[in-house]
Structure formats: C-alpha cells, structure tokens
Amino acid sequence: MSFSDLGLTPALLNILTNQEYENPYPIQKKVIPSIIEKQDLLGIARTGSGKTASFVLPILTNLQTSEISQNRHVNVLVLVPTRELATQVRDVFHIFSVGLPKPIKTMAVFGGASINPQMKAMRGVNVLVATPGRLIELVESNAVHLSAIETLVLDEADKMLNLGFKDEMNAIFKLLPQKRQNLLFSATLSENIEAITQFLLKNPVVVKIETGETNLDLIDQLAYDISEEKKGPLLRYLIKSQDMQQVLVFASSIFKVDNIAEKLTKNGIQAVATHSKKSSKARRDALHNFKAGKLRVLVTTDLLSRGIDIEFLPYVINYELPRSPKDYVHRIGRTGRAEAPGKALTLVTPQDQHHFKIIQKKMKRQVNRQDGNVINLQGY
C-alpha cells in the first residue's frame, strides 16, 4: 500500500516524495483513511511510530475541502503537553502545507513565551497547536475562539495528564462545539486515558502500534557498574574515548543536570543543560542546536525523554536511572530509531543494582554489563 492509496489530497503526494517519505508507516496506513472519513480515533503509539504525520496529512486533506473559518476562529486544535512538542508538530504541519491549493496557516502557542506576539499572530490561523494553560489564557483574552473547531487532537494525552493538565483540558473541552472529530494519541493506555476516551470519543477506531519491542532491537544497550564518585570521570571518558559527537545525557534532578553540564564544559566537552527551569528560548535553542549537530552534549531530565523526535541520535547515556522502567525505555528510545542503530549506556552504582534489575525485568531484556571500576580514569 502506498501513500496514493490512502485518499490524501494529490498535492500532498508531491511533498511526501520531496520529504523522502516513500511508504506509509503501519500507523499511517491504519489511521489516515479513518481520519479522512471524519471518524473519532484512539491511537496508542509513541514517538517514532510516525504518529504525527498520521494525523497531520489527513487533517490537511480535510481542510482542503472544508469551509475555512475566519478571523480568530481556528478549525483544528492540537493539544500537546510541552512547548517542544508544540513546535515539532507545528513544523510538520508547515512542511506539508507548502504549495497546497488552499493555504493553511498553522501556529504553535505555549507558556513561557510572551503572550502578546501570540495574540497578534492569531488572526487567520487554521490549525492551532497549543499547550493547555496558554490556550486558556488566549481564549480568556479573546485572542482565539474555539467554537468552530472541526477536529480536536490530543497528542501524548498520557503525558498531558501526568503533567497535571487535567483541569485545563476539561475547561477547554467545554468550549468546543458539540459536533466535532476527536483524535486521541497516547503512548500508554492507562485507566485515566480510558476514562478520557470514554468521555471524549464517539465509536472510535482504535489503533495500537507496538513500537517498543522493535525499537529495543535497534538499540545496543550496555551498563557500566561504577562507584558513585567515579561517575563524572567515567562519563567524560566514555564521551571522549568513543569520540561521541552527539549524545543525550539523562539525570534525575535539575540540580544534577546543571552540575553535569557544568563539569563537562569545564573539562572541555561542549555541553548544555536543559530542563523546566530554563527559559523557553534557552530550551528551544538548546534543542535546535543539538538537533542540528552544533551541540555535542545535551544534558536533561525526563522532560525530553518523550515526544521529542531527534533523528538518528547515536548515543544516550543514563547518568542516573529514572524512577520508572517506562521512562528508561522512553529515554533510550531516543536512539536507534528509523532503522539507525544507536547505543544506550547506563551508569549503575551499587545502590542502583536492585532498581536496575527491576528495569531489566520490566523491559524483558538483560543488559550487557561492564565493570567501569577497572577502567583507568586517570586524567578524566
């Protein structure tokens, strides 16, 4: 089955070819026709499955034939948990909107950035990608109206709930017209997600894409047993000795993330810390530079472990273990994607042993081990 069999508007087929999307991914084959038919949908899929294009392409197709609303009435609302995901989804809309017969304007809005430019730019927007809090602020100041929404997308709904957006989401749902299409994407199917599904979706098509297993097959995992005090030198040794040029390092606290980046920089390894206490611009710049290959090491908390698509990331290092085994898989899932093999290295202290066993058990994989304590770390 090719993209031309899915009912997409013809102009999109050229853009797909230009973007080197040769064949639809499994999620796209299943989801695109249902969305074009205006059905509600529950998509259980994580980043890397191709879920973004699976809703962007049919939404753009439908907008080509629907009545485009005017002024500050947007047609499509995509709710996302983080500003990074907001800009990423907006970019996919932009890429696929170029050259469409009926022009489509997409805008991303999120907190942490000043609201005035967002209010001004709202005129003529057809697709709004928004984090819940900022959207409410914009609605309250009459910068945007939600009464003409034809399609609502909740992207990474589980993450939105985890981040505590439930009340904001409910407030937004009340502002939407009764008759509309609802699309909900989530990496997991928890009780909370089921509840929101029942409330929101009408006879949804359910699509479940298991990407976890296949992704793990692409990832070369290795754990280093190491004492707490030798972690810093080992990290620097690994980056230098393996000549890693693009590596994402995870730690569990903001304090630690700052500390690691600072020490790497002091030791001549270009590194930037990014986390929720950084400004929106700083976060965006860090991610942009890292993606563009201009930044060698990006150190972060679990904020970036989901939802952020970094193509061909060769290395992930877990400087500290995440609390949940699921987060471990999400973290290492940043690498080894799109058929590109990647390496995930984890530093395991004696205190971590038990927790790391649980992670491996949940993941149903045994990770190869190396004794980091016997490596000569002199000079690192």
Q: Which residues bind ligand AMP (CB under 6 A)?
A: 21, 24-25, 28, 47-53, 309, 311, 338
The set of residues, in sequence order, having a beta carbon less than 8 Å from that of 207 and lying 6+ positions away, is 27, 30, 31, 34, 41, 42, 43, 44, 45
Nearest residue to the partner ligand AMP, using Cβ: 52
Nearer to ligand AMP, 82 or 118 (CB): 82
Nearer to ligand AMP, 229 or 339 (CB): 339
- Least distance in angstroms from the C-beta of 54 to ligand AMP: 7
Distance CA 113, CA 87 (A): 12
- Least distance in angstroms from the C-beta of 55 to ligand AMP: 9
- Least distance in angstroms from the C-beta of 56 to ligand AMP: 8
- Least distance in angstroms from the C-beta of 292 to ligand AMP: 14
Question: Residue 20 in 3-state DSSP?
Answer: coil
Closest CA to 258 of 239, 279, 238, 275: 275
Nearer to ligand AMP, 24 or 342 (CB): 24
Nearer to ligand AMP, 5 or 262 (CB): 5
Question: Residue 274 in 3-state DSSP?
Answer: strand
Amino acid at 362: K
Nearer to ligand AMP, 187 or 234 (CB): 187
Q: How far apart are the first and last CA of the chain?
A: 53
Nearer to ligand AMP, 53 or 152 (CB): 53
Question: Residue 342 in 3-state DSSP?
Answer: strand
Q: Which residues on adjacent β-strands are paired with residue 205? A: 41
CA separation, residue 354 to residues 234, 305, 361 (Å):
21, 22, 11
Asked if 189 and 312 touch (Cβ cutoff 8 Å), the reply is no
- Least distance in angstroms from the C-beta of 201 to ligand AMP: 21
DSSP for 308-346 reads ---TTB-EEEESS--SSHHHHHHHHTTBS-TT--EEEEE
- Least distance in angstroms from the C-beta of 52 to ligand AMP: 3
